[in-house]
Amino acid sequence: MDYTLSEWIQLAGSGSMARAAVSAQARESGMEEAAVRDAMRRHLHCMQEAARSGLDEHLRSVSGLTGGQAAMFLKRLQEGRLLCGNLLGRAEVYALATAECNACMGKIVAAPTAGACGILPGAVLAMMEERGATEDDAVDALFTAAAVGQAIASQASISGAEGGCQAECGAAAAMAAAALTAMEGGTARQCADAAAFALMNLLGLVCDPAGGLVEVPCVYRNVGASGVAFTAADMALSGIACPIAPDEVILAMKEVGDALPASLRETGEGGCAACPSIRARLHMNTL
């Protein structure tokens, strides 16, 4: 099952991208559509549990670099003091919580990867809690996201080592943008446009994990990319069409990824990973 975004739009026809993705998955797996949806529902429940466990204020990663920060973020949300408001704020809190859960070896859904695991759940769970989206709406949104993720993986990459963080957090933001657009009643074309806007805004993002650990800057990028996803969805839902064919943005991402030097593709040698303060902190923590 390898489809481009334009093929997903065609498959959706006058229906939704989610509906097309469920049918395609059922065809490919030989499972009933209801069973395919149940499997996705289990992923949603796993996402909810990961976000919940990442909110533990006592959580700490083995390196000591991350953990407990989502709880700090949640406190400010609960006080009504986040500048970005409750919907995006909650999405960002859950994105950070999920990413911290991953950094602390908890169970997450790689959507599309462990490093970028917070962006999609944050968006979908926030829509359920803040906008009254149902569990069925959320499952549909995850199928929309899955279609977008598949289109990116098959035409470019979802690996930071291969294409930089644009391929991980960029792809996750594209998936979340499409999911949000679908949850707000957008068409399949608008979902593709939202995905393209998100990817466009994160094009060139390098993969530079300090110490080779999926913590810094990874957990914070999950938060920032959440904001990109909401912005991209809002543009698409406003009727703004992406001026570049969405699949071409994916191909541009691949071209940029191929041009990145090895030091910026998960080797931990460049970018944030090369900054003296984080290197010193990692050295101290391992003494």
Nearest-approach distance from CB 206 to ligand SF4, in angstroms = 7
Nearest to ligand SF4 of 23, 263 (CB atom): 263
* Largest separation between any pair of C-alpha atoms in the chain: 60
Nearest-approach distance from CB 165 to ligand SF4, in angstroms = 3
**Contacts of 148 by beta carbon, 8 Å cutoff, 6+ apart:** 5, 8, 17, 174, 175, 178, 191, 192, 195
Q: Is 218 in the site for ligand SF4 (CB under 6 A)?
A: yes
Q: Is 214 in the site for ligand SF4 (CB under 6 A)?
A: yes
Q: Is 266 in the site for ligand SF4 (CB under 6 A)?
A: yes
Query: Among 229, 248, 14, 15, which Cα is nearest to 143's?
Result: 15
Nearest-approach distance from CB 131 to ligand SF4, in angstroms = 27
Query: Among 181, 114, 115, which Cα is nearest to 145's?
Result: 181
Neighbours of 285 (CB within 10 A): 13
Phi and psi dihedrals of 265, rounded to 5?
-130, 70
The answer to whether 188 and 45 have CB atoms below 8 angstroms apart is no
Nearest to ligand SF4 of 65, 128 (CB atom): 65
Q: Is 115 in the site for ligand SF4 (CB under 6 A)?
A: yes
User: How far is it, in rounded angstroms, from Cα 249 to Cα 242?
Assistant: 10
List the interface residues with ligand SF4, window 139-198 (CB under 6 A).
Answer: 160, 165, 168-169
Q: Is 100 in the site for ligand SF4 (CB under 6 A)?
A: no
Using the rule CB under 6 A, give the single segment among 19-27, 45-53, 102-110, 202-210 that binds ligand SF4: 202-210
Query: By the criterion CB under 6 A, which residues form the site for ligand SF4?
Result: 115-116, 160, 165, 168-169, 207-209, 214, 217-218, 221, 266
